[in-house]
Structure 1
């Protein structure tokens, strides 16, 4: 007759439950998979499939009692670690969103906004275009596979019960300025050119006050801004590769992965 002890049952439960919490937290917070466009049920099924696939290669899990205080703390720790991984990836996408917002304001298209289905808020159309573009590039260059690889390695480098969650939180907080800086550098040529155009309009207004600069400047700035933005897209791939490499390397540094 087969007899199971509480320790054996707790070990089996921990083998699947603790990795499931970390994987689910990553899928719920990371870009593309963690958006409102993907139903929560689909994300949960994906988390279950990924957990079943990676569990055989994970190190042994500590004994787990889901009804004890220590068990609840372990679950909360895994959720926090996974959410930090997902939040660090969100910074890559938000850099392109900021770049779109800046160029939309400079060219006078800040009023042209739409509901972002990803976050559920109104954003400029240019930002929405940048979000869709970076999402396609992220999937085409297998960025999601790199994330899942780092996630699997994190169970060895950041084992359950020994993850330095507080230290990781402050590391991410210290990188928040990177988002704005990356967004500005991404769209700096277009912003500089539009600044030169606006300065030229100011000089024209000063030289000829009777000239109605608003009736000429607004459509001209809009057309020039769209043209410069279209020309700047030719070099968007190299910028994305640099920013994505830095963001994914930062994710590896957070997970202490190779």
Structure 2
């Protein structure tokens, strides 16, 4: 039995696979090192299949030079899209970092090789909680669908529009800081009020040395009210998913 291989389809699939691999390797949730590269590769290979039919390659395939140029463009496109999503979801870890800084947990900073995040307890808790919530709620599905729109915005073998990508990156960074402040604001406000209370207590009774109680009091307040902030994390993840999808749609001419 003779088996014929469509060279144009194969080249199209490999180019699409290159874009999806870079995207999966950078964008959460699969960018976490807790996922083996075999899993990432299977997800990228499966994601590339439905999108291959949406791109066009001339009959007979591309030459070596054109194929190399197209591969470079696809790698750049996948990396840009992955970075935009990564920055959008970095707001969750940034919110945890703000809480660690305000509560004093920042002194216990540890590097997490899985998420590649250098942070204390709440930073890592929020990061891992975000990944678990994304997978449990299926938030990666809208991201994949948004990624699919990139093939309409940026044709196969073309570089993304750099002014649009830069504008989207600026919006992503601005949104990241705003979202991080909104997530961490309730607990930071409670810790700030605790500091004010300790200051007033010191003014009333200077010999009491109330600030010596500051660190254990902040730990108690953080643990008591931390669940309130963590309980609002699913809603924040949903909003960040919508923001990431919009960013994916903005990259293009």
* TM-score of the aligned structures, taking structure 2 as reference length: 0.86
Look up the match of 1:88.
84
Look up the match of 2:46.
49
Gaps of 5+ in 1: none
Cα deviation 1:10-37 (Å, max 9, x = unaligned)? x344222211111111111111212222
Match of 2:200 among 193, 196, 203: 203
Asked if the contact 1:58/1:152 (under 8 Å) is kept, the reply is no
Residue 216, structure 1, aligned to residue 213, structure 2? yes
Asked if the contact 1:21/1:78 (under 8 Å) is kept, the reply is yes
Gaps of 5+ in 2: none
Q: How large is the Cα RMSD of the aligned pairs?
A: 2.4
Asked if the contact 1:13/1:64 (under 8 Å) is kept, the reply is no
Query: Residues 243 and 46 (structure 1 numbering): CA distance in 2 closer, same or farther, change over 3 Å?
Result: closer
SS in 1 for 2:106: coil
Output the CA distance in 1 between the equivalents of 2:36 and 2:208.
55
Look up the match of 1:107.
103
Asked if the contact 1:77/1:165 (under 8 Å) is kept, the reply is no
- Which deviates more, 106-115 or 16-25? 106-115
After TM superposition, give the deviation of residue 215 of structure 1 in Å. Answer: 2.7
Output the CA distance in 2 between the equivalents of 1:237 and 1:38.
21
Residue 17, structure 1, aligned to residue 18, structure 2? no
SS in 1 for 2:208: coil
Asked if the contact 1:107/1:194 (under 8 Å) is kept, the reply is yes
Output the CA distance in 2 between the equivalents of 1:243 and 1:153.
18
- Which deviates more, 220-229 or 202-211? 202-211
After TM superposition, give the deviation of residue 91 of structure 1 in Å. Answer: 2.0
Query: Residues 19 and 125 (structure 1 numbering): CA distance in 2 closer, same or farther, change over 3 Å?
Result: same
Query: Residues 127 and 145 (structure 1 numbering): CA distance in 2 closer, same or farther, change over 3 Å?
Result: same
Output the CA distance in 1 between the equivalents of 2:126 and 2:178.
16
Asked if the contact 1:150/1:255 (under 8 Å) is kept, the reply is no
Look up the match of 1:127.
123
SS in 1 for 2:113: coil
Output the CA distance in 1 between the equivalents of 2:234 and 2:34.
25
After TM superposition, give the deviation of residue 102 of structure 1 in Å. Answer: 0.7
SS in 1 for 2:251: helix
Look up the match of 2:62.
64
Output the CA distance in 2 between the equivalents of 1:31 and 1:255.
21
* TM-score of the aligned structures, taking structure 1 as reference length: 0.85
Look up the match of 1:159.
155
Number of corresponding residues: 247
Asked if the contact 1:101/1:110 (under 8 Å) is kept, the reply is yes
Match of 2:239 among 229, 242, 252: 242
